[in-house]
Structure 1
Amino acid sequence: MAVHLRLARTGRHKRPMYRVIAADSRKPRDGRFLEILGIFDPLKNPAVPELKSERVLSWLRHGAQPTTTVRTLLKRHGVWKEFETEKSAKAAKPEQGDTRKK
Structure 2
Amino acid sequence: MGSKKRPFYRIVVADSRSPRDGRFIETVGTYNPLTQPEQVTLKEEAIMGWLNNGAQPSDTVRNILSKEGVMKKFHEAKYSKK
TM-score normalised according to structure 2 size: 0.94
Shift of 1:87: 1.1
**8 Å Cα contact 1:37/1:56 also seen in 2:** yes
Question: How many pairs align?
Answer: 82
List gaps (5 residues or longer) in structure 1: 1-9, 94-102
Q: 1:75 to 1:69 in 2, by over 3 A?
A: same
Determine whether 1:80 maps to 2:71.
yes
TM-superposed deviation, 1:12: 0.7
Which of structures 1 and 2 has the larger relative contact order (alpha carbons within 8 angstroms, sep 6+)?
Answer: 1
Query: Gapped runs of 5+ residues in structure 2?
Result: none
2:49 and 2:79 map into 1 onto residues whose CA distance is 16
Considering fraction of residues, name the structure with more helix.
Answer: 2
Which secondary structure state, in structure 2, belongs to the residue aligned with residue 49 of structure 1? strand
Per-residue deviation, 1:48:
4.0
Pick aligned residue for 1:38 from 14, 21, 29 = 29
1:39-80: CA deviations, max 9, x gaps? Answer: 000111111411000000000000000011000100111111
Structure with greater strand share of residues:
1
**Contact 1:21–1:38 at 8 Å: present in 2 too?**
yes
Larger radius of gyration: 1
TM-score between the two structures when normalised by the length of structure 1: 0.77
Aligned-partner Cα distance in 2 for 1:30–1:14: 19
What is aligned with 2:62?
Answer: 71
Matches of 1:77 and 1:58, distance apart in 2: 16
* Other structure's SS at 1:39 match: strand
- Runs ≥4 residues deviating over 3 A: none
Cα RMSD for the two superposed structures: 0.9
